[in-house]
Amino acid sequence: MSSNPFFAPWSTPFGVPPFDLIRPAHLPEAIIAGMEAQNAEIAVITGSAEPPSFANTIEALERSGALLDRALSVFSNLLSSLGSDELQAIETELAPRLAQHGSGISLNPALFARVDALHRNRDALGLDAPSQRLLERHHLGFIRAGAHLGAAEKLRMAAISERLAVLHAQFGQNVVRDEREWHLPLTQADLDGLPDFVREGARNAAQARGLDGYAITLSRSLIEPFLTFSRRRDLRRIAYEAFIARGEHAGPHDNRKLIPEILALRAERARLLGFKDYAAFRLADTMAATQENVESLTGAVWSAARHAAGVERDRLLAAASVDGINDRLEPWDWRHYAERVRLAEYAIDEAELKPYFVLENIQQAAFDTASRLFGLSFHRLESLPLYHLDVRAWEVRDGSGHVGVFIADNYARAGKRSGAWMSSLRDQQSLDGPVSPIILNNNNFSQGTPTLLSFDDAETLFHEFGHALHGLLSRVRYPSQSGTSVRRDFVEFPSQIYEHWLAVPETLRRFARHHATGEPIPDALIQRLLAARTFNQGFATVEYTASAILDMALHTHPDPAALDVAAFEREVLSNIAMPREIGARHRPTHFQHLFAGAGYAAGYYSYLWAEVLDADGFSAFHATGNPFDPALAAKLRRILESGDTRDPMELYVAFRGEAPRIDALLHHRGLTALAGGDGVNKPET
């Protein structure tokens, strides 16, 4: 009998993977067996002598691949959260085989023939609305994969998918390698301006690397506070330039070599499918629908944001003149002087604010918000075997009983992917009986005793927990429609609207408590914090929107194979008059949203698109005078429960009563007066 735990039922509470039994060697064995099992399941579907039916084709397709899904969900999460050399080697080995497996299904002519026959006869099948949508989405998925193409084109599509899988894995591993290997050692003499929480984070980072003293790493949760508080301009420059150079070092790990090939392969795939470029291909299956709609949104926001950033720059220069900087700011100066101006104009000092944002309390605030909105409760699972000592788990319940399991992995560590994300170890579905979700949130907070968060960190926790609720509250029949399996520019709506509840004063009064005294954050400090929320939004909006514009330019380039990545980046930013004092939030060589996978390729605008929805949506709660209004909360829950069973704009309009308007976004960011024109654009329905 095999000792591989993937080949036996799991007796752990709620079916959580038995991480204490799983070894890296088990993963490729289970994944390969999972591919073989799914191939056999597909062969049963295509070899059936029965005419195609929804049950023997679509539902059978939904059932296929259970072992593969089980193994891949564990592997992908361990790869992102631990990132060991052994796991990366497995990724390198399996990426092309997995791509080949996926192409074998999506380009299978017999399977597509059955799906196509059902699609042509769909109005006579008597399907309910979710089933009808599932059939349509499956059919569209086959078309967008190339199932309707000729034999030669299918072979080329499969080859493209296989090569892209290899390139995506290499790109992500190169970024993780740079983040793991670089650090800036500091001595006591280098700590000028750093508050205690930054010093503690730097000391912990040094200890984790076996170093004496202090170290700044490329974790955003450590490097951004360093850039904010360090009075050593020379060290800020070193840290900033290392941060933006991730993936851009000559040699075998240089992502500049990978990007043109990735872009060229994506463009070729789009042309094979009849689209002029990859952006047109991606946008055809989004809420935005067209490049023109995306550019209308980013253009309106860019104009206002750039003007606001110019006003902010002048205020920062005045503060910098005290230090003898009279000509111009550099990108490594902006955060430092923005913090000084914020302190002067709003009496908001990050060092004063941060002691009130203890990680455990903010996690509890996210739980409490879910309790008040959706009736959920969270119960710590103390003895559950997990994959790292820092990871925590809770059972989630509501009035009907068990809902799912929520797992939080909140701390940065060497080898872990940067950023923050939600993923799942098991998706909710009820095709053959109820299956509850197991949802995972990853953050990269700098660990301390206690761990203190910035307000931005706290918003990130709420953001990812909003994604988690989308997975936890899913109530669908079919796995393909579960939770976050929605269009890319809708998936950020539940996460971004959830951020708003952190800033509700009663949330802050209950959960923002001083780590040493337990005293709640003073009302006067809350008022100053909320008054300052639109401060520096020109900078924040410029750095994000520049990345979204760069994404779209990269994926509409007419000849990406010949691209000089650095020169093209400079050209695009010059054409939009990018302020030289601000860098794009993501440069191409470390833009994992785009190049470590295709998830946000030609889709990074999605966060901005979703902000139109979330700002407009939360304004409905604000209008009632009750941020926990039960009627609106029930409507919002229906969005989270629905997954991909309905068109996203239909879901939004059912919640809000009308289509969203960009005014709410501009108002939320403090850019309304700077938008120009009437500032009113509705996303296309």
Question: Using one digit for the tens of pLDDT, what is the confidence trace for 579-623?
Answer: 999 999 999 999 999 999 999 999 999 999 999 999 999 999 999
Largest CA distance in the chain: 83
- Tell me: the pLDDT tens digits for 399-453? 999 999 999 999 999 899 989 999 999 999 999 999 999 999 999 999 999 999 9
Judging by DSSP bridges, how do beta strands 214-216 and 421-426 pair with one another?
Answer: unpaired
What pLDDT does 673 receive? 53
Instruction: Report, as an integer, the average pLDDT of 352-372.
Output: 97
Whether 654 has a pLDDT exceeding 60, the answer reads yes
Whether 677 has a pLDDT exceeding 70, the answer reads no
What pLDDT does 390 receive? 95
What are the residues facing 186 on neighbouring strands? 214
Q: Which overall architecture, per CATH, does domain 278-343+535-674 show?
A: Orthogonal Bundle (1.10)
Task: Check 464, 492, 499, 543 and give the catalytic one.
Answer: 464
The answer to whether 278-343+535-674 and 354-521 have equal CATH topology is yes
pLDDT exceeding 90 applies to what percent of the chain? 93
What pLDDT does 675 receive? 43
**154 contact partners, CB below 8 Å, separation of at least 6:** 107, 146, 147
Distance separating alpha carbons of residues 56 and 33, to the nearest angstrom: 23
What are the residues facing 392 on neighbouring strands? 408
pLDDT band at 679 (very low <50, low <70, confident <90, very high): very low
Both tokens of 646, joined, read 């309905």
Instruction: Report, as an integer, the average pLDDT of 305-326.
Output: 95
The reply to whether 93 belongs to the active site is no
Whether 329 has a pLDDT exceeding 50, the answer reads yes
Whether 2 has a pLDDT exceeding 90, the answer reads no
Least confident interval from 270-279, 561-570, 652-661: 652-661
Whether 381 has a pLDDT exceeding 50, the answer reads yes
What pLDDT does 674 receive? 47
Distance separating alpha carbons of residues 80 and 39, to the nearest angstrom: 27
The model carries a pTM of: 0.94
Q: What is the DSSP letter of 431?
A: B
What pLDDT does 672 receive? 74
The CB-side HSE value for 44 (13 A sphere, CA atoms) comes to 14
- Tell me: the pLDDT tens digits for 443-482? 999 999 999 999 999 999 999 999 999 999 999 999 999 9
Question: If you average pLDDT over every residue of the chain, what do you get?
Answer: 95
What pLDDT does 678 receive? 31
Whether 77 has a pLDDT exceeding 80, the answer reads yes
What are the residues facing 184 on neighbouring strands? 216
Whether 1 has a pLDDT exceeding 60, the answer reads no
Whether 682 has a pLDDT exceeding 90, the answer reads no
Quickly list H helices, 20-150.
Answer: 26-46, 60-63, 66-81, 85-106, 109-120, 129-145
Distance separating alpha carbons of residues 539 and 667, to the nearest angstrom: 16
Distance separating alpha carbons of residues 685 and 680, to the nearest angstrom: 15
Alpha carbon 450 to its chain's center: 26
**H or E element at residue 394:** strand 392-398
Domain boundaries of the chain, sorted by first residue: 5-106+108-145, 182-244, 278-343+535-674, 354-521
What pLDDT does 97 receive? 97
Q: Is the peptide bond before 450 cis (omega within 30 degrees of 0)?
A: yes
Whether 101 has a pLDDT exceeding 60, the answer reads yes
pLDDT band at 48 (very low <50, low <70, confident <90, very high): very high
Instruction: Report, as an integer, the average pLDDT of 280-308.
Output: 95
Q: What are phi and psi of 74, to 5 degrees?
A: -70, -45
**H or E element at residue 422:** strand 421-426
Whether 44 has a pLDDT exceeding 80, the answer reads yes
Instruction: Report, as an integer, the average pLDDT of 138-155.
Output: 98
CATH class of 354-521: mainly alpha
3-state secondary structure of 462: helix
Instruction: Report, as an integer, the average pLDDT of 369-381.
Output: 98
Whether 151 has a pLDDT exceeding 90, the answer reads yes
328 burial (CB, 10 Å; 0-12 / 13-18 / 19+) is exposed
